[in-house]
Amino acid sequence: GAGVSQSPSNKVTEKGKDVELRCDPISGHTALYWYRQSLGQGLEFLIYFQGNSAPDKSGLPSDRFSAERTGGSVSTLTIQRTQQEDSAVYLCASSLVRNPFYGYTFGSGTRLTVV
Amino acid sequence: AQTVTQSQPEMSVQEAETVTLSCTYDTSENNYYLFWYKQPPSRQMILVIRQEAYKQQNATENRFSVNFQKAAKSFSLKISDSQLGDTAMYFCASASGAGSYQLTFGKGTKLSVIP
């Protein structure tokens, strides 16, 4: 596609429920990143996928968070047993090469609200 | 680890005037990159300008320029001839040059351009 597409745009869920957030990167971009933006905070790195290599999960805040990337394209971020502190905007980005100097393209994010 | 600090949570500027957004950072790296991203209400992060630390010349992109003071670890953004479309959150970010793909963000500055 022309840009990075994320769905849903907004999601309201009850505490304790599981949610799935989807990211469809730019076609041909082998690198994919998830970031979390909590209210009043900058972006926080969550996870990085590069081609078929093992992902860098070092930024995931707890074992309730997981992510996968199927076929080197679409990625899904799953949050199990959601908590109120999970409320945030979840942003996905993709790039042709992994060096940020050469440009990451971000999606418009999913705003998750846990009530 | 890198840290990025933006000390101005909110700023405003009259249309057509010039405004400077401040950013300081801390890193132990000799080679690194610095960025300013814009986040309008659409939530998509848009790269405004970037700087390689080993280049002393300040980067410029049309109305946007930076004042990079390496010794002081300061990286301010100057917006000239401010336009209503410049109203957005602005984030300063850094990345290690040593093959890193993670961006470290500040907490952002909310800029309002007043007609």
CA distance to partner chain A, nearest, from residue B11 (Å)? 15
Instruction: Determine contact, residues B76/B5, Cβ cutoff 8 Å.
Output: no
pLDDT bucket at A2, cuts 50 / 70 / 90: confident
Determine, for residues A101 and B50 on separate chains, whether the beta-carbon distance falls below 8 Å: yes
Dump pLDDT digits (tens) for B52-111: 999 989 999 999 999 999 999 999 999 999 999 999 999 999 998 777 788 999 999 999
DSSP result, A86-102: G-EEEEEEEESSS-GGG
Span A92-102, pLDDT tens digits:
999 988 788 88
Better-predicted residue by pLDDT, A90 or B28: A90
Tell if the CB–CB gap between A42 and B106 is shorter than 8 Å: yes
| pLDDT, tens only, A46-83 | 999 998 888 999 999 999 999 999 887 999 999 999 99
Taking alpha carbons only, the member of A3, A8, A16, A7 closest to residue A115 is A16
Largest CA distance in chain A: 39
Q: How far apart are CA B54 and CA B33, in angstroms?
A: 9
CA A7 vs CA A12, A17, A74, B25, B32: distances in Å: 13, 18, 11, 33, 33
Query: What's the gap in Å between the CA of B38 and the closest CA on chain A?
Result: 11
pLDDT tens digits for range B7-52? 999 999 999 999 999 999 999 888 899 999 999 999 999 999 999 9
Q: Which of B42, B95, B107 sits opposite A100 (nearest CB)?
A: B95
What angle (nearest 5°) sits at the alpha carbon of residue A101, between those of residues A96 and A107?
Answer: 55
Q: What is the Cα–Cα distance from A113 to A115, expressed in whole angstroms? A: 6
pLDDT of B41 reads 92
Asked whether A76 and A21 are in contact (CB, 8 A), the reply is: yes
Q: Which helix (H) or strand (E) segment is B92 a member of? A: strand B88-96
